[in-house]
Homo-oligomer: A and B are copies of this chain.
Amino acid sequence: MEKLTIGQMAKLNHVSEQTLRLYDRMHLLEPDSVSPETGYRYYSIKQSAVLDMIQYMKSLGMKLSDIKKHLECKDPALIKSILHQRSLQIDEEIRELKYQKRAIERTLQSYRRYETSPPDGTIVLEYLEERRMYCIDAGMNFYDYGIEEYEEMLRKLKTRLISDNLPQIYFCNAGTILRKDDLERHRMYSSEIFVFVDKDFVADDLTVVIPANIYLCIYCNKFEKEKEYIGHLLDVISEKGYKIVGDYICEVITELPFLERKERGMFLRLQIPIKFS
């Protein structure tokens, strides 16, 4: 029955000495014997089994205080239920990580798009793929107010996202909608705000799909210039004889650190779906 010092025990089991001292203090794993004169801790190699058990339970995501309880009173049913719970929790964590990963991909993509965006005022025709948006009606006309009211609307949208228990991760690719009818009548009315979401996003009632189409787009770096630039788009449409086939979208193309002067960065892509008539 050879006695191991704390350093030897630590090395054998790949934990730190401090960790062993901590476990001692918590009465999770007490040394086989302690010298009464010097206070030195001496372990038996057989106690490695306890450390294995602790590490195993830790790897299942249990906390030390729970592990202690289970080392003391081992209730098979309880442990089984903990394992089952943990299994479900792992599924959840994996799901969350996958969301995160997609959000990162989207951010990088959005970043590349920002870097390659044409300069302010440029008008181009772009084919845009089908997109999904999570959309709410804020009940007030966005164009009658300024950026502060826009932030307020965004807060409402966020509240909805949270109360629907959805990842806030989408919250960086927002925009507003001006309905086709209003646009054609040159009536600046928009009370709807949205965020773009993933294909497998689930929130049926508030999720709207907009089809792939050719869009006449203008890039805009100032929130205040939106109305003027819509005018430019409408001019081009009537000049070239295009036909408006859907709602106007004001999309915020976020620079990754999307803050400028401590405000939301506002590089916009204003877009109207058209068809060549």
Contacts and interface: CB of A to CB of B under 8 A. Distances in A.
Contacts of A59: 100, 103, 167-169
A159 interface: yes
A101 B79 CA distance: 15
Given A80-B108, A111-B76, A258 B53 contact: yes
Interface in A260-275: 262-264
A5 interface: no
A26 interface: no
Contacts of A152: 45
Contacts of A107: 83
Contacts of A100: 59-61, 86, 90
Interface stretch (A91-99, A116-124, A212-220, A227-235): A91-99
A198 interface: no
Contact of A258 (B49, B91, B93, B162): B49
Please tell me how many copies of the chain the complex holds: 2
B151 A71 contact: no
A48 interface: yes
Interface in A171-217: 171-172
A42 to B, nearest CB: 14
Given A12-B155, A147-B46, A171 B83 contact: no
A53 to B, nearest CB: 6
B171 A71 contact: no
B159 A14 contact: yes
A257 interface: yes
A32 B12 CA distance: 56
B45 A151 contact: yes
Contacts of A151: 45-46, 48-49
Contact of A48 (B49, B108, B154, B256): B154
A104 B80 CA distance: 10
Given A56-B172, A86-B104, A46 B264 contact: yes
A132 interface: no
Contacts of A87: 101, 104-105
- 6 pairs of A and B residues whose beta carbons are closest in the complex: A74-B257, A49-B264, A45-B151, A90-B101, A12-B155, A59-B169
Given A45-B148, A49-B259, A71-B259, 4 more contacts: A49-B264, A55-B168, A60-B100, A97-B97
